[in-house]
Structure 1
Amino acid sequence: MAKRKTKFMCQECGYESPKWMGKCPGCGQWNKMVEETESTGTGRRGAFTNTSSPGLAAKATPITSIETVSEPRIKTELKELNRVLGGGVVKGSLVLIGGDPGIGKSTLLLQVSYQLAKIGQSVLYISGEESMRQTKLRAERLSVSSENLLVYSETNLEQISSTIEKSNPDFVIVDSIQTVFHPEVTSAPGSVSQVRECTAELMRIAKTKGIAIFIVGHVTKEGSIAGPRLLEHMVDTVLYFEGERHHTYRILRAVKNRFGSTNEMGIFEMKESGLEEVANPSEIFLEERSQGASGSTVVASMEGTRPVLVEVQALISPTSFGNPRRMATGIDHNRVSLLMAVLEKRVGLLLQNQDAYLKVAGGVKLDEPAIDLAIAVSIASSFRDKPTRPSDCIIGEVGLTGEVRRVSRIEQRVQEAAKLGFERIILPENNLGGWTGPRGIQLIGVSSVSQALKVTLEG
């Protein structure tokens, strides 16, 4: 009898080693190496050929001779989901949705299944975490009922593949990929090998049969999708469902999309009847803004193709320690330190003995350069204890010499601010040329941080 060969694999990054190690050389994590049996099979699991174009997969073909068929995207009733996906669901795509436990991933996909079933699409909902009766109870709570929605409770990938072959659905939802196992892989469900093999098999089914497949992925305590990073590279689209379980608002964000733009964001509200989309997120983020408080400004930020108005708050107070604290929520910590250095060097604000706490209200994460000027004005407003006008919206990128640089899509940002009733827009001077703003809006161009502070805090 041949000796069984084993290897040790990191459950975080997929690094393989012939012997056990306490610390993974790949990702640096401790105690993540697990012994697994090497597969001796010679099959080509996960490989697929393009059955929609017979004969083309067997040889290299000039791109000019490949025939393409333009298929319209399948739109759901959730416009926010259509926006994040790039306009709708693409046939033959593999979409990965990750999020914290209890955030609403299964609720969202069950609602989407019902909406697709209502327009005549056949949907197969595969649950590896709930029985069929438990899924039915959740469907009744969400008022989900359709003959085109098939429910199947199974974790064996071979049984799942056989069911997909027999029912031939238009859409498949797998909840979740960590519970599915391939019988030819000896490791436990949820391990790196199982997740990789099961995802590869689902990818083969999606590409060869033209079935759009949604898979749910658990997240680690760091907030990333559990399993190897290879999982995110294999799929076509990666969506993150963010939010606090104790708050009602949820944010669906695209971090990878082969069929649309990334960094798109959709806002949902969790209610007893399920998830409902928020048509105007800017109004939601600004509804609890304090009037007349220092350290508060509003910025028009672009989330993908959508302008969103959010409140940037700053609290500057004298430090009680030798080294001042710098804390930021929703903003990059290094960007805050950089802007405080610019304010100290170019404007003359003595911030080296001040603690700084910054936050973006509403739980949104901002990472574009156009928010620099709003952050700088918030810090100066809190430091001088002078509030800005509630009707001001501030847009602009700040350079290291204190200059305010132009930003992209300024017209869309101003239109969004005008829609919510803002009267003054402080923006880069170089963005003023070539267009006129909406009626009733005062556009004030500034070329430096010092000039912006005079307009917002002294004007």
Structure 2
Amino acid sequence: MVAKFRYSCQSCGYISSRWLGRCPGCGEWNTLVEEQAAIVSHKIKKQASRAMTLAEIPPAGEERFSSGIAEFDRVLGGGIVPGSLILLGGDPGIGKSTLLLQVTGKVGYAGKKVLYATGEESAHQVKMRASRLGLSRESVYLLAETDIDVIDVNIRDIRPDLVVLDSIQAVYKADLPSAPGGVGQVRECAAQMMRLAKTSGTSVFLVGHVTKEGMLAGPRVLEHMVDTVVYFEGDTHYSYRILRGVKNRFGSTSEIGIFRMEGAGLAEVHNPSQLFLMNHPDGNVAGSVVIPNVEGSRTLLVEIQALVSPTGFGTPRRMTAGLDYNRVVLILAVLEKRVGLNLSGQDAYVNAVGGAKLYEPAVDLGVALALASSFRDIPVREGLVAMGEIGLTGEIRPVSYLEKRIVEAARLGFKNCIVPDQKIPEEISALQSINIFKANTLAEALEIAL
């Protein structure tokens, strides 16, 4: 039988019968590579699975086990579910391997069998890193191998409770002629690990590389196959890292875990607001406003800094860091049209301190107050936090989780809070430690803050 070949896009997995310079699926150039098409068998199995009604299926409790790291468990929804397939993505050097190596050590310390399979490092290199992290357990097995079938055999022999495969782009299946990291190789290797996890009850972590656009490398079907997708984010210029869930069949997708990179590995950050408010000026600097940002079940207080200065060119510059650029441009237009600030001849720079990334609409009011404060060169009221979404007509719209935001601000010692004119529970309104000001429009909020 003559082998059939096809062309697969390395970015999105688009399949074509002929080579194309530009992928019709994602629009990328020179990403289609030749690979052998899999031979599909059309034989019907004699022993097929029998369909059952929901009432016939015996109830099974969600027996999670802890990873030993509370921040990690928070993102996974309370722990690791047996038989789950979890994909961890992140930039090179961000700490993915270090995090999972610490997890294997913690799980092994709890008496469970763990297999750490690496296709990117030698066994001695992993041993050196484990020694630096203080990990040495007899229940933790190490395998340096790139053949997925060999890894499969070791898993079935050892029968571990947890498997870490680092990384899915480094392993290959010998039956496929394409190189490791190709669309076909990644898809088939992930499918094999998925079948093993579901049939044996072993939890499997897959480490995935990301592209320069921040997306997971390989076909999009990879994210659909797994149960949970988490991203490990951070700036190389800062010591903290954020573990963010984007898909979770067993819990919330909006949870985050925060870590700090130290010499002995990644340490949990239990009070992240203090981290983002480090060296925050005490109300005597124009252009600085603190906002409460909700990530999952956690409220983080983050400082927003703005700098507005006359432009030296014909077209003013607009730059943002950690905030949506288009959202900031919209807020500048509202400030000019509805409040009367002449910002058309001003450069505007807005930054979320500490490398935080803020995308929820509730940060709009804080950005507007910071820009107005810098433009007028007047500091905002001392001990102030602000929250609210700004509409194009200048109104301040309600935000979610208002009570949580106010309570967190009061806990950290802030005395004043500007909120939208929405219903607030009596127990929150009765707080003696913080003054709550309601504002219907952006102009009212500026009168209160400046």
TM-score > 0.5 by shorter chain: yes
> CA separation in 2, counterparts of 1:319 and 1:100?
36
Shift of 1:80: 0.9
* Residues 1:385 and 2:377 aligned together: yes
Tell me the distance in 2 between the aligned counterparts of 1:118 and 1:127. Answer: 20
2:128 to 131, 137, 142: 137
Q: Residue 61 of structure 1: CA displacement?
A: 2.3
Q: Deviations over 1:391-449 (max 9, x none)?
A: 10111111222111221111211111111110111111214354434332111111111
AA in 2 matched with 1:377: L
Q: Any idea what the Cα deviations from partners look like across 1:51-90, whole Å, max 9, x if unmatched?
A: xxxx9x7233222322221033212331111111111111
Q: Please, which runs of 5 or more residues in structure 1 have no aligned partner? A: 45-54
Q: Name the counterpart of 2:339.
A: 347
1:247 matches 2:238? yes
> Which residue of structure 2 aligns with residue 222 of structure 1?
213
Within a 5 Å distance, the mapping from 1:60-209 to structure 2 comes to: 60-209=51-200
Q: Does 1:16 align with 2:15?
A: yes
AA in 2 matched with 1:327: M
Provide the rounded CA distance (Å) in 2 between the counterparts of 1:340 and 1:434: 35
- Deviation string 1:3-60 (CA, Å, 9 cap, x unpaired) is 332211111111111211111111111111111122225399xxxxxxxxxx9x7233
| Separation (CA, whole Å) in 1 of partners of 2:382 and 2:71 | 29
For the pair 1:335 / 2:334, whether they are aligned, the reply is: no
Choose from 315, 321, 326 the match for 1:323. Answer: 315
Residue-by-residue CA offset, 1:258-296 (whole Å, 9 max, x unaligned): 111112111111111111001100001001223422111
- 2:266 aligned with 1:297, yes or no? no
User: Which residue matches 1:271?
Assistant: 262
The 8 Å contact of residues 295 and 314 in structure 1, kept in 2 or not, is answered as yes
Residue range with higher mean Cα deviation, 140-149 or 313-322: 313-322
Q: Describe the superposition over 1:94-131 as per-residue Cα deviations: whole angstroms up to 9, x where unpaired.
A: 11111111111111101100111111111111011112
Match of 1:432 in 2: 424
Q: Report whether the alignment pairs 1:374 with 2:376.
A: no
Where does the alignment leave 5 or more consecutive residues of structure 2 unmatched? Answer: none
CA distance in 2, matches of 1:325, 1:431: 39
Given that 2:396 and 2:442 are in contact with CA atoms closer than 8 Å, whether structure 1 keeps it comes out as: yes
Range with bigger deviation, 440-449 or 238-247: 238-247
Distance (whole Å) between structure 2 residues aligned to residue 182 and residue 122 of structure 1: 25
SS in 2 for 1:436: helix
Task: Give, as a single letter, the amino acid of the residue that structure 2 aligns with 1:213.
Answer: V
Tell me if structure 2 keeps the 8 A contact 1:296–1:312: yes
The percentage of counterpart residues that share the same residue type is 52
Pick closer, same or farther for the CA change 1:43–1:295 going to 2, 3 Å.
farther
Q: After superposition, give the CA deviation of every residue in 1:202-255 in whole Å (9 maximum; x if it has no partner).
A: 111111111111110011112211111111111111111111234311111111
> 243, 254, 257: which is aligned to 2:248?
257
Cα offset for 1:135? 1.2
**Counterparts of 1:285 and 1:59, CA distance in 2:** 55
Counterpart for residue 397 of structure 2: 405
Conserved? CA contact 1:130–1:153, under 8 Å: yes
Aligned residues: 445
**Is the contact between residue 299 and residue 408 of structure 2 (CA under 8 Å) also seen in structure 1?**
yes
Given that residues 11 and 33 in structure 1 are in contact (C-alpha distance below 8 angstroms), is that contact kept between their aligned partners in structure 2?
yes
Aligned Cα root-mean-square deviation (Å)? 1.6
Alignment-mate amino acid for residue 451 of structure 1: E
| Matching residue's letter, 1:81 | F
